[in-house]
Amino acid sequence: MTLDRRAVLAAAAALSVAPRVNAAGRAAPVATTTAGRVRGADVDGIKVFKGVRYGADTAPRRFQPAQAAQPWKGIADALAYGPASPQSKIDEGTSEDCLFLNVWTPGLADGKARPVMFYVHGGAHANGSGSSPLYDGTWLAKTYDVVVVTVNHRLNCFGYAYLARLGGPELADSGNVGNLDLILALQWVRDNIAAFGGDPGNVMTFGQSGGGAKCVTLMAMPKAAGLYHKVATMSGQHVTAMGPIHATIRARAFMEKLGLKPDQTEALKTLPAGQLVEALKMRDPLERKGGIVFWSVVDHGVLARHPFYPDAPRESGHIPMIIGNTHDETKAFLGGDPKNFALTWEELPGRMENELVLDVAPEHVIARYRELYPNYKPSDVFFAATTAGRSWPGHLIQAERRAQIDAPAWMYQLDFGAQTDPKMGAYHSYDIALVFGTLGAKGSMTGTGPAAQKVRDQMSAAFVNFARTGDPNGAAIPAWEKYTLPRRSTLVINEASAMVDDPRKAERELFAVAPFMKEGT
């Protein structure tokens, strides 16, 4: 489905009416941005603005850096989420006119200068939006007196197709325009968030999975400098971005799938968006599995280096950072297949081979796990080893390389597992609801019982403390020490959390024999 957001905004901007009131009789909140006024809603005492435009329609500038929002007259309604970027996995409206953000705040222009928590959604740079019920900022804003922002930006080929070596100079930044959208949104925060009760000098970017990876990538992009002041990643394991040669191979293959030659980038700019989305289903020309991959590219321009290779970027070394992971990451990807919970020892090597990123013989890995955990069943080894050999190493490398340059970092491991489906454990993305306090939202498996509330209160408080001061410590958690070498101190989060030096050390050492590159790079 495609939503014509321009028509909606144009109609709203044409009307200048008296303030509306909600069911409780309170006037609808109105905030003033640099582009015009917006009208939100009052929800449980929190002022909520959804679908606030921060950038112009990207369709006329496909594959090019976006432009800021054009000014409007009157008051534009900010009562519904804006469309998401075109994508293949979606249950909401999509459009290339997708540069909208959402704000939750306890007060408007009241001089309180609240910390700003700027969340970037996950979805492997390919899917998702800032409108998931899991990311609703009402509870966070109300409980901790903070401003929460979520954001939509260009994804997949629209945000990351690297055409610089195939087209004209206007396409030089095409491999990173999705990241440049995020920078544009952060510039909007800098210029406007005070009107929403936030402090533009105290902005924490945080994100889960691909969202965390984008936050990490911004740390290596000079254009983002000064727009954020803390970073927290939740399973955002990017160490490397995509190289320009591999990115060009993918761009050529994608164009061929669309019936275009490599020199026909002008035609690619004007094909219907739906046709591009359909082509995303093609097999990736370089990977063994899945659809074609598009994400951040080392283009020797806006992204001149890999996020955490060969070291942590020193230009952001002063930025405090939380680096988090979940104990059972791959159950989010592999737990949907019942067969993976009933594997035999004979089936295990072949099943594991295609799921490891680190190139270590499955038979060797299995033998070591059977020594370490003699009570493990084949499926237990499968999920543990694929996590340790696929989704965990990137987090470790980020923390290690921060420690090597004495850059402040705190690491956590979430062990508290799914309450509504215990076999899923602490799967990839499980920590989102615990940070946002959206325990009962669609997509959450935390349940709303006392155990989940205990963990929620710890994680949310630590993230807010970090956003407020640059240090996650507070009364809700044990003293959280910084990650240093060789101790590798990590906060293991559960109903009763504890500091552990080098958790899962033997598993870490098992896979440390092989070099890690993010899958797809």
Active site residues: 209
Is there a contact between 243 and 299 (Cβ–Cβ < 8 Å)? no
One-letter amino acid of 30: V
Give strand pairing partners of 476. Answer: none
**Strand extents, DSSP E, 239-365:** 321-326
Name the token pair of 149: 């922002």
In terms of Cβ atoms closer than 10 Å to its own Cβ (0-12, 13-18, 19+), residue 94 is buried
Distance between the two ends of the chain, CA-based, in angstroms? 31
Q: Break the chain down into helix, strand, coil percent, rounded to 5.
A: 35, 15, 50
CB 176 within 8 A of CB 302: yes
Integer Cα distance of 43 and 321 in angstroms: 31
Give the angle subtended at the CA of 239 by the CAs of 236 and 241, to the nearest 5°.
Answer: 100
Residue from 170, 303, 289, 185 nearest 247 by CA: 303
For 409, the 3-state DSSP assignment is strand
Residue type, 196: F
Strand spans (E) along 108-255: 114-120, 147-151, 198-208, 230-234
Rounded distance between C-alpha atoms, residue 290 and residue 462, angstroms: 36
Judge whether 447 and 434 are in contact, CB under 8 Å.
no
Q: How far is CA 309 from CA 175, 353, 502, in A?
A: 18, 26, 22
Determine the residue type at 243.
G
The C-alpha atoms of residue 404 and residue 314 are separated, in whole angstroms, by 11
b/e map of 230-269 (b: 16 or more CB within 10 Å)? Answer: bbbbbbbbbbbbbbbebbbebbbbbbebbebebeebeebb
Please state the length of the chain: 521
Rounded to an integer, what distance in angstroms lies between the CA atom of residue 153 and that of residue 155? Answer: 6
* Cβ atoms of residues 106 and 142 within 8 Å: yes
